[in-house]
Amino acid sequence: MAKKYNKVVLAYSGGLDTSVLIPWLKENYGCEVIAVSGNVGQGTELDGLEEKALKTGASKLYIEDLNQEFVDEYIIPTVKAGATYEQYLLGTSFARPIIAKRIVEIALKEGADAICHGCTGKGNDQVRFELAIKAFAPQMDVIAPWRFWELNSREKEIAYAEAHNIPLKITKETNYSKDKNLWHLSHEGMDLEDPANEAPISKPGFLELSVSPEEAPDVPTYVTIHFEKGIPTSLDGKEMGTVELIQKLNEIGGANGCGILDIVENRLVGMKSRGVYETPGGAILYAAHSKLEEITLDKETSHYKQQLALKFAELVYNGQWYTPLRKAMSAFVDSTQETVTGDVKLKLYKGNIIPAGVTSPYSLYSADMATFNEDDCYNQADSAGFINLFGLPIKVRALNDIALAAKTGKHFPGVE
């Protein structure tokens, strides 16, 4: 830590890691610390944040409202892509790039020497933050204390905070690592670190956006979502903006125990980690969008888009949002969404999201074609010629194997 800085911009959430970083930076670098918080829907977590940041030594705190941009420029493009990472709906992943971008903008405006974040050296977020910094301020220094400092456990951080009179909302007994935004809430650490332990989703106070499926109502709730070119525009017949729509779906989905995911995922840095995610509104949106695409996309486009979705999800998860490939993929996705317009009705019941009807003016589904009853638009005799041509390579291979077996007496794969 020989290098000195005059002014450091800190990615500040008010959580454990960033709370101790303000006095720690001042003690170790003697620098001015400017805190920046990106409001992406944390809600009450932002209450009292300015007072706390200033009391612990920050010269100022920026709280930037990024909700609309977060939804329209990051969440919706990912939903339209149908991108999920090992079932995970990418809540933390696509929140980091937008926050980091804004932090860079403020750092450049303030003439900062460095940007500091509180991500651990084991996690994915360090990559997501720093790739965004490289994209917008490639020469900016980055301070990542978790890679070298003495506070190398959450217990030591709590002890440091207590010694420096830093108020915390957690204790050593409630020390889950959480990340909350408009889209989701994640839970990691403590008893969740052992996959043999059942996630305590029924324990009072663990879930915050949802109830457990057992506690959900005994009667189903129906919702109808309208999409225009892949973008949700109304809920149950009421037009609303994307932010409001997600908030409303979170309420409805959470009350019905929807969108709770308990997985062991493969982190970018190579290890496996376990997390419990609450994404009630997001799970509903993904299900609705996918159902609408079933009737509005042709087979080849749909199948290719599914392949692309896997790579798209990896880019988002790995912090590569600001790359030419992600941008190009989004352009492809947008072109596929021209006909993804219509209404999707879903039944929500004790954690389940069940299709209950889908309509679109661009539907490619034809009841006349698909019926088991008599029809006059499909000649079933045509299928014989199709099968003969489609199966010709298999037939030729089998005939050749039979001939070779007769000549040599050896077994060939096509001969049983």
Point out the residues that are catalytic: 17, 96, 125, 177
Q: Provide CB contacts within 8 A for 245, sequence distance 6+.
A: 225, 232, 233, 234, 235, 281
Q: Which of 60, 54, 8 minimizes the C-alpha distance to 29? A: 8
Look up residue 72 and give its DSSP letter.
I
Q: Roughly how many angstroms between the first and final C-alpha of the chain, as a whole number?
A: 71
- Cα-flanking dihedrals φ and ψ of residue 207, to 5°? -75, 140
CB 104 within 8 A of CB 133: yes
> How far, in Å, CA of 131 to CA of 137, rounded?
10
* DSSP-derived secondary structure for 98-150: HHHHHHHHHHHHHT-SEEE----TTSSHHHHHHHHHHHH-TT-EEE-GGGT-S
Quickly count: other Cβ atoms within 10 Å of residue 74's Cβ: 22
CB 288 within 8 A of CB 249: no
Question: Residue 327 to residues 98, 321, 330: CA-CA distances in angstroms?
Answer: 15, 8, 5
> How far, in Å, CA of 243 to CA of 225, rounded?
14
Diameter of the chain measured on Cα atoms: 90
